Amino acid sequence: MKRTICEFNSDGVAAFQELIDAERGKVKTSQPARVSEGFFASVEKLAGESALLLEVSGTGQIDDAMTFASRYDFGQYLHEVLPDELSKVQYSNVGLWAWISAVYLPQLLKPSARGKSHDLWSSYRYIPLAYSKFRYYRHLAFISFWLQRQLGETAARLFLSRPMYEHSDAIEQLYTSDKDFLTTPALLEVSVEMYLDAESGVMKKKALGKETPGSARRLATKVAKQLQMNFDIHSMTKEQVYSLLPTEFDAWRE
C-alpha cells in the first residue's frame, strides 16, 4: 500500500525506542532479541498513528508493500522516492529514518530458520543516535540510501550486495578507511569486478582480509594511496588502473 512519506515526531521516536528497548531488555547485549508477529503489529500501528507522525513536505509516496532482494535494491528505491533536498534526508533527521525503519522493519531483521521469529539487534540499526563516526553507517536504512545518493550505483553495489538485515563488513573496512578510494570511479569499478562474485553478486571469500594478498582492504588502504602519490587516479579509466596494479592482484582478476 502506498502512503505519504512521513517522519515520527518526538513522541513517535520515543514510542518506537520503547518497543525496541522492551525486547532488547530480555536478552544480553551480545545476543539478538527474538521478536514475532505481535511485535511487528505494534510497530506497524506506530508507523500509521497520525498523532505520532509529521508529513515530509514536498515529497511523494512510499510503498510499504515493497520487498527487496538486497540492501542495494532497498537503497536504490529510497534514492528514487525520497526528496532531492539533502537537508530532509540527512542522518540527523531521526524521525524520518526511524519511521522508514519501522515501515520496513520485518525485512530489516533476520528471520529464523523456520521463519517464526526474527532477530532484533541494538536500536542504532533502526533509530539514528547522536552522530558517531563508529555507528552512523550501521543504520541499515540510512546508509543503504546514502551510498546510492552520494556515491552512486557502482559504490552501492560494492557495499550493499547483501541481505536487507545484514551489516556490511565492506562498509566497516572500506567505507570508513579512505575517502579518496570512495571518490575514485575507476577504483570502485575495479573493486566491483575483482571482489564481487559475478553470479551471486556477493563479496568473494577473503576479499576483505587484512593480510590477504590483493584484497579489497589492501587496495583501499595501501595500494590506492601509493598510486595517488605518483598518478592522478581520479582521472584514470578502469583499464589504466588495472595496468598499474601489482602482481598480487592477478589472482583476483577474471
**CA torsion, points 48, 51, 54, 59, in degrees to nearest 10?**
40
Shared domain check, 127 and 173: no
Shared domain check, 189 and 250: yes
Shared domain check, 39 and 91: yes
* Whether pLDDT at 205 is above 70: yes
Q: Which residue has the higher pLDDT, 35 or 210?
A: 35
Shared domain check, 247 and 145: no
Of 117, 152, 187, which one is at a domain's C-terminal end?
Answer: 152
Q: Which residue has the higher pLDDT, 229 or 68?
A: 68
Inside any domain, residue 33:
yes
Shared domain check, 216 and 143: no
Shared domain check, 139 and 237: no
Number of C-alpha atoms within 13 angstroms, CB side, residue 177?
20
Number of C-alpha atoms within 13 angstroms, CB side, residue 204?
19
Q: pLDDT for 92-103, tens place per residue?
A: 999 999 999 999
Inside any domain, residue 88:
yes
* Segments of 121-228 assigned E as strands: none
Shared domain check, 66 and 100: yes
Shared domain check, 188 and 117: no
Inside any domain, residue 53:
yes
Shared domain check, 148 and 98: yes
Rounded to two decimals, what is the model's pTM?
A: 0.90
Of 119, 152, 185, which one is at a domain's C-terminal end?
Answer: 152
Shared domain check, 81 and 8: yes
Note down the domain range covering 241. 168-254
Inside any domain, residue 208:
yes
Q: Which residue has the higher pLDDT, 201 or 56?
A: 56
Shared domain check, 67 and 8: yes
Shared domain check, 108 and 35: yes
Q: pLDDT for 102-146, tens place per residue?
A: 999 999 999 998 889 999 999 999 999 877 666 788 999 999 999
Inside any domain, residue 161:
no
Any long-range contacts for 106-115 (C-beta under 8 Å, 24+ apart)? 106/40, 107/67, 107/68, 107/74, 107/164, 107/165, 108/140, 108/141, 108/164, 108/165, 109/35, 109/165, 110/32, 110/163, 110/165, 110/166, 112/34
Mean model confidence pLDDT for the chain: 92
Inside any domain, residue 54:
yes
Of 1-5, 20-24, 56-60, 227-231, the range with the lowest mean pLDDT is 56-60
What percent of the chain is modeled with pLDDT above 90? 70
pLDDT at residue 26, as a whole number:
97
Inside any domain, residue 64:
yes
**The total number of structural domains that make up the chain:** 2
Of 105, 126, 152, which one is at a domain's C-terminal end?
Answer: 152
Of 149-153, 173-177, 238-242, the range with the lowest mean pLDDT is 173-177
